[in-house]
Amino acid sequence: MAPRVRTRTSLRAALSTGALVRAAGAHNALGASLVEQAGFEAVWASSFETSAARCLPDASLLTMSEYLEAAAQMQAACSVPVVADVDTGYGGVLNVAHMVREYEAAGITAVAMEDKVFPKMNSFVATEHALLDTAEFQHRLRTAKEVQTGAEFFLIARTEALINGLGTEEALHRCRAYAEAGADAVLVHSKARTPAQIQEFLRGWDRRVPVVIVPTTYPDWSADEAHAAGVSMVIYANQALRANVQSVRQTLRTIYQKGSSTGVEHDIAPVSEIFELQGLAQWMELEA
């Protein structure tokens, strides 16, 4: 038996059913495999996680090639779609065109591009978050759609209007303009502690394209409640990374302090589970 060949689902196909699509963040193939194993319908190839894995801030420091390599490795390990967080598109209009061609060629069927000025800073950092002019971002979106070669490629336009403090009406204005420019979905980001801003946005939205949210700062709003309010996709963008930091730190401290791993063995995965995630049995059969 050869190593498994994966039949992949595109994000467009997943959303076409009308069911809520839930995604979780990852930064490598192993993390993406765990997202799929947990039952999520998509993987979020998080620029925040990918930067953090290098101990660098999410501030446009890594190159497109570095983010693309991580996303492509995640997609190779999964049958669910990987949605690549491509920040601002890595530069100007021509950079956006190059990005779409490269990501699509690598088998990534969905990207999310935000309307901030390049270089950008992570949305939760207390600093200025300058936005592109709406017409300029529309131009970039049109260019992205013009250069895609396959019908399955899916472009999510992310507005940071609420992050910037511009209010719901500006977020609605921008998202309507982005949908007119050809965006396949819009992502409305908020750092408020409740979902009130998102709920207000949804009441004013005409559902011309699906809405994506990232409930990092308002975790009490359940996926079912969000779906009932008109959300098509929910991204749990960084919870896996935060859990990994917490659990690994505690495990290693315990081993160091106790002088053995006996006290943590019942809390950590056995080596056999790692073998399974690696597909080791299939590779050994191929060698035989």
**Residues 64-92 pLDDT 10s:** 999 999 999 999 999 999 999 999 999 99
Given this model, what pLDDT does residue 288 score?
86
Amino acid at 210: P
d(CA 113, CA 274): 34
207: left (phi over 0), alpha (psi -120 to 50) or beta: left
Confirm whether 5 is domain-assigned: no
Catalytic, out of 58, 85, 115, 184: 58
For residue 253, give every residue at least 6 positions away whose Cβ sits within 8 Å of its Cβ, in sequence order, or none: none
Cβ-defined contacts of 31-40 (< 8 Å, 24+) = 31/74, 31/240, 31/244, 32/73, 32/74, 32/75, 32/77, 32/78, 32/82, 33/77, 33/78, 33/277, 34/240, 34/277, 35/78, 35/80, 35/240, 36/78, 36/79, 36/80, 40/80
> Do 131 and 262 belong together in one domain?
no
| Averages of pLDDT over each 10 residues, the chain, 288 residues | 64 96 98 98 98 97 98 97 98 98 97 96 92 98 98 98 97 98 98 98 97 98 98 98 98 97 96 95 92
> Do 187 and 273 belong together in one domain?
no
Instruction: Centre a 10 Å sphere on the Cβ of residue 70 and count the other Cβ atoms it contains.
Output: 26
Confirm whether 4 is domain-assigned: no
How many structural domains are present in the chain? 2
> Do 52 and 147 belong together in one domain?
yes
> Do 181 and 205 belong together in one domain?
yes
Last residue within a domain, chosen from 219, 237, 255: 237
> Do 229 and 252 belong together in one domain?
no
Confirm whether 263 is domain-assigned: yes
d(CA 112, CA 201): 19
Confirm whether 222 is domain-assigned: yes
Given this model, what pLDDT does residue 161 score?
98
d(CA 258, CA 264): 10
Q: Would you say 29 and 77 are in contact if contact means Cβ atoms under 8 Å apart?
A: yes
| Structure-token pair, residue 46 | 């998080």
Q: Which residues pair with 236 in a beta bridge?
A: 24
Closest CA to 279 of 26, 15, 77, 32: 77
> Do 196 and 265 belong together in one domain?
no
Q: What is the CATH number of the domain that holds 107?
A: 3.20.20.60
The alpha carbons of the chain give a radius of gyration, in whole angstroms, of 20
Given this model, what pLDDT does residue 155 score?
98
> Do 194 and 277 belong together in one domain?
no
> Do 209 and 275 belong together in one domain?
no
Confirm whether 6 is domain-assigned: no
> Do 38 and 154 belong together in one domain?
yes
d(CA 113, CA 98): 13
The range of the structural domain enclosing residue 168 comes to 11-237
Q: Would you say 154 and 11 are in contact if contact means Cβ atoms under 8 Å apart?
A: yes
> Do 168 and 267 belong together in one domain?
no
Catalytic, 58? Answer yes
> Do 28 and 150 belong together in one domain?
yes
> Do 194 and 254 belong together in one domain?
no
Q: Would you say 61 and 91 are in contact if contact means Cβ atoms under 8 Å apart?
A: no
d(CA 164, CA 131): 8
Given this model, what pLDDT does residue 6 score?
63
The SS3 assignment for 251 reads helix
